[in-house]
Chain A
């Protein structure tokens, strides 16, 4: 079982819709959770991080964390074609020294 799992996609949504990206992790000791966006041929860019159970909102992005279910998600409201990218879920163990990434979900927003 992979430590961090994501559906590889592609996930296709129409412009203006809500895109929902999901991630599960296996280590219950994980304490920090991140979402990165990566455009083709580019380096990952951090868009959200969350440490506590519940929701965290930043503009059109909402990260949701449920430690009991070992589940973290990212919602993108009012999706735009410029949101088309691969979204990487990452998890850090206590101390944040080692970071485990999922393989990523490709999102395609249709104009």
Chain B
């Protein structure tokens, strides 16, 4: 089954404790992206990757890191999480960079930073 998976689905952590949210897709998609969703603000793009070893900042990259060492994986790293990073996070993938008419979203990761 074609899908985007994220782990963990739920995470409660404390300020400053490094964490990684994994994202994996089994569709051989080139383009992957991370978003956060907050009430009243909609989805905001954090980082995106056009292919292996090619990443770029979205609109809200501060406090986040990403890497794309393999085509299927695009982990989101929070080196020192803070309470303002409490949010619902979505990973998404698209077959080709620049062709987002078939963007697939993962199930989401709800992160709480205390």
Contacts and interface: CB of A to CB of B under 8 A. Distances in A.
Given A32-B100, A34-B101, A103 B40 contact: yes
A16 interface: no
Interface residues of A, number: 23
A88 B92 CA distance: 15
A20 B41 CA distance: 21
Contacts of A8: 40
A99 B100 contact: yes
B45 A99 contact: yes
A92 B42 contact: no
Interface in B21-61: 31, 33, 35, 40-45, 48, 50, 56, 58-59
Nearest to A95: B98
Given A43-B106, A98-B58, A88 B43 contact: yes
Interface string B75-114: 0000000000000001000100111111101111000000
Interface in A35-65: 42-46, 49
Interface of B: 31, 33, 35, 40-45, 48, 50, 56, 58-59, 90, 94, 97-103, 105-108
20 contacts: A8-B40, A43-B105, A43-B107, A44-B43, A45-B105, A46-B101, A49-B100, A88-B42, A90-B43, A95-B97, A95-B98, A96-B99, A97-B31, A97-B50, A97-B98, A98-B45, A101-B35, A103-B40, A103-B41, A103-B42
Given A44-B90, A95-B98, A101-B35, 16 more contacts: A34-B103, A42-B107, A42-B108, A43-B105, A43-B107, A45-B105, A46-B101, A46-B102, A49-B100, A96-B98, A96-B100, A97-B31, A97-B98, A98-B58, A100-B45, A103-B42
